Structure 1
Amino acid sequence: MSAQAADSGEARSPTKYDRLIAAAKKAPAISTIVVHPCDETSLRGAADAAEAGLIKPVLVGPADRIRGAASKHNINISGFEIVDTPHSEAAAAKAVELVHAAKGSMLMKGSLHTDELMRSVTAKAAGLRTDRRISHVFVMDVPSYADTVFITDAAINIFPDLDGKRDIVQNAIDLFNQAGFGALPRVAILSAVETVTSKIPSTIEAAALCKMADRGQITGGLLDGPLAFDNAVDQEAARIKGIKSEVAGRAQILVVPDLEAGNMLAKNLAYFAKADSAGIVLGARVPIVLTSRADSARARMASCAVAVLYADGRRRGAINAAA
């Protein structure tokens, strides 16, 4: 999902994504398992990211189809390792196996369905689960907003409970901090209104999440909620409502009540506000680059850049912890 203007050929001034990609180019290239890249979009995304020095791809899927797509669309994959599998389901299972064998520090979705990939990732016995709930973050470049905006979760958890939302919030905060977006991100827990009411359960969960942060159950960010969307992102709207907090009016992470609300919000920003959106899945053993066929080439590169920065941040954190 990405604003169509991103590929329109119009001249654009440097954006948040350009700075993000530039930062990722300074990190070491990350070994990346690209799952079932059997069409032009997924193959070109991997090849472009490799050419930019972001990743070292390992292509997993039917070798003949991968080479055929590369030849048809004139994509150079001569320097990439190919692991042959008979079909997409086998490619997903093999990709997870390669991560367990330390052959890759990232996964990248190719031309298979998201559900196929995530079934292998979340498999209880052989998957990539951790003690965290797996969740998705849209990292959005909204031209009219000063900060890069995270929206979570708008792709995986349909109706998360309070414990699930705790993990969703913590995953997004960790991404923000470890990928170098800054420290102590401002996190808005969204609902339809900014007051707590028993008639709207998401307001109660928002208040509970803020109290969990007060008690150290969520760390690394500044939380406020419930906040309606307007007073989460507009300081004048927050002032009119009499809301005084470090988050209101300038949130950087927007935590939505459920997937349906989040998906609509992300798409509204993409098509009405001409925002670009990068996608990453967190909470598994490795970050997962999750893109859509509708994504622009620039948004795909940004998705990869976010995952590279996050993986590199985790690597450096592990080294520092061991020192």
Structure 2
Amino acid sequence: MEIGDKIRELRMKKGFSQEELAVRSNFSKSYIQKFEEGKREVKSSQLVQISNALGISISEILDGTNYNSDEFTLRNIEFREGFKIVFNQEFFEKKILGELHRKYNSYCRLEKLVGASIIFQNPLKNFDIISNKKQIEEATKILRKKWKFDITPIYDIVSFLEDLGVKIFEVEEDESFAGFSCWERYTPIIVINVKNIDIPRRRFTVLHELAHLLLKFDDNILKEDLERFCDHFAGAMLLPYDVLMEYIGEERSITLEELKRIKSKYGISVFAILVRIVSLEIINWEKYYEWKNLYDTWKNKDISYNSNEKVSRFNYLLAKGLREELFSDSVASQLSGIPISVLRRNSFSKEFDLR
């Protein structure tokens, strides 16, 4: 079904005439008519207006349609499942992409109102096509140096990437879904599932998806190998080779306390550390399984990693715009989906006068 046919179907279900929908969505009647007849492209921002006018989610409009827009083209969508998939992927994609349309357009509009748009720069855009793990190690060294981390821990990956222009969105879905990444023209997008409360795993997922966005892979690489390369990238970004080797030393051994210290300092899970060690061929797979079985007996002695890793830039820009009176409470409510009464009660409306 074409998008125009779907809009007509949903409009009629609501009992609206074309004129009524036009008034509710702030379009002319001729616009609605052209949308429905497929004579005019429906842009993503216009989908937001129409869905609001119909009182439905964008995903309901997209469901079962062949929607394409030159304005909002999602490419290189990479889904990663943490466990066995327990959802209908086609329906899930429509639902998630529907949410992205709304959130992305609100985010871009807010940036323009505040004058805070960021053009993302990929430090690895001229890097070689990836075909092996050695290249990934080289790429992460370059990236860490460009971003001035060298061998130090990366403490708030989500906020750091947001400030570079990566748009990160949170969803609450079944735990079998970890996240995915895509591009909207020149803007990198990462979606993470906050149902996953394990922070090291969330950090790992963000960096895995970042690999999909920044690296160019050999076209002949199998899907499972590509995912392993992205995992290797995430491990290398979290725990640089030189740091790991300092802990392992010439003895080629490591203690539980050392593993816990690495986890608490670098925000990488003990399991991911072990995978990194075998992936670098520091130990063989037989030794890896021996260590992993030993770790399984340690699990009750493991420690948690304290970090936020929550999306925050949107709310920061919202508060800034309200404080500087760049837009009204009603616009802030429309952008955020937060009722005006709630906006006025929380920190968005509080200001510390430094004069």
TM-score range, shorter chain: under 0.3
TM-score, length of structure 1 as denominator length: 0.27
User: Could you say which structure has the larger radius of gyration?
Assistant: 2
Higher helix share: 2
TM-score, length of structure 2 as denominator length: 0.25
More RCO (CA 8 Å, sep 6+): 1
